[in-house]
């Protein structure tokens, strides 16, 4: 087995709401990298990573921290300042994609399809929101992933109750789009096969994503080839519009008219047994070790 040159540090965990998912994924990623001949060290959190880099001898970083500071540009800016190559998107792409409000604004400016939505202002009355956007509505954190803190509100009473007790940092509100959920993995500018998600729950929330055994992932997704290709091209455009690079995942909904609507970009997607990028890669003929080695290769652009 050929050895991958240099010392690689896999950084994961941290203290975000998605830290445990990151740790679960790191077990699989570490095994895949070692299978690929990588001299690997696994570190939990950015402070520990900083201490390790101060010691010297770190040639590149495989970033698997979900949420802040791994997906919002903080880790990326630090590693660039320290001159250490890292996987995935750079500072701007990470920061923009982490902020769903600004992502939406950029996509809207480019004419890409998104649900009507914006930042939620403190003290906004339910009546004004309903008049502006109708019902159902979605209220969620603008800078979290894994469906953490998402509220789907189908009537005025539920909306009023949620607004009265809302404890979300930087909340946003958007019109709820009814339809089928899809996701498109991207590695080095290539869109992987589309996955259609069929939740076993009423909503594809944190439990449905990481704990449920009833959620089904369809790959092939069942769309006609032309529609799947169009969805892949839309995902690539959305990814590039936010200055994302390396690898990631674009989530969409196909509405009642059959039109895809962009939801968000994940620049460091999950890599657990339930995760979607590995499923799509397998459909494309790429085993898990080959996938993580290819992701590691995205650090080459930041040498």
CB atoms within 10 A of CB 109: 9
Q: Is 86 a catalytic residue?
A: no
Name the catalytic one among 210, 275, 289, 302. 210
Long-range pairs, 273-278, Cβ under 8 A, ≥24 = 273/28, 274/209, 274/210, 274/215, 275/25, 276/183, 276/185, 276/195, 276/197, 276/217, 276/249, 277/185, 277/187, 277/192, 277/247, 277/249, 278/28
Q: Is 270 a catalytic residue?
A: yes
Q: Is 103 a catalytic residue?
A: no
Give the SS3 label for residue 179.
strand
Name the catalytic one among 266, 275, 289, 299. 266
Name the catalytic one among 270, 275, 289, 302. 270
Q: Is 249 a catalytic residue?
A: yes
Name the catalytic one among 16, 18, 93, 185. 18
Name the catalytic one among 251, 275, 289, 299. 251
* E strand or H helix that includes residue 84: none
Q: Is 94 a catalytic residue?
A: no
Contact status, residue 113 vs residue 259, Cβ threshold 8 Å: yes
Q: Is 251 a catalytic residue?
A: yes
Separation of alpha carbons 11 and 188, rounded Å: 21
Catalytic residue IDs: 18, 146, 210, 249, 251, 264, 266, 270
């Amino acid at each position: 087995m050929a050895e991958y040159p240099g010392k690689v540090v896999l950084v994961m965990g941290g203290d975000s709401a998605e830290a445990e998912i990151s740790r679960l994924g790191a077990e699989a990623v570490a095994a895949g990298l070692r299978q690929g001949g990588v001299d690997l060290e696994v570190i939990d959190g950015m402070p520990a990573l900083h201490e390790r880099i101060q010691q010297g001898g770190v040639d590149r970083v495989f970033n698997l921290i979900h949420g802040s500071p791994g997906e919002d540009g903080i880790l990326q800016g630090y590693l660039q300042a320290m001159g250490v190559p890292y996987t995935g998107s750079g500072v701007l792409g990470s920061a923009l994609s982490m902020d769903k409000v600004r992502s939406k604004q950029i996509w809207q400016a480019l004419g890409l399809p998104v649900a009507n939505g914006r930042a939620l202002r403190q003290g906004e009355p339910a009546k004004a929101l309903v008049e502006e956007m109708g019902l159902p509505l979605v209220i969620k954190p603008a800078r979290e992933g894994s469906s953490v803190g998402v509220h789907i509100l189908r009537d005025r009473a539920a909306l009023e109750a949620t607004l009265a007790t809302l404890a979300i940092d930087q909340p946003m509100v958007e019109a709820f789009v009814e339809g089928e959920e899809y996701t498109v993995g991207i590695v080095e500018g290539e869109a992987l096969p589309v996955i259609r998600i069929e939740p076993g729950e009423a909503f594809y929330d944190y439990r449905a994503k990481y704990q449920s055994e009833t959620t089904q992932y369809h790959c092939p997704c069942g769309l006609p080839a032309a529609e799947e290709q169009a969805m892949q091209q839309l995902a690539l455009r959305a990814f590039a519009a936010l200055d994302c690079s390396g690898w990631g995942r674009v989530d969409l909904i196909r509405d009642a008219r059959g039109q895809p609507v962009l939801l968000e970009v994940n620049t460091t997607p999950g890599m657990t047994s339930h995760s979607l990028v590995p499923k799509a890669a397998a459909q494309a003929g790429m085993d898990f070790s080959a996938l993580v080695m290819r992701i590691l290769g995205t650090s080459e652009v930041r040498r």
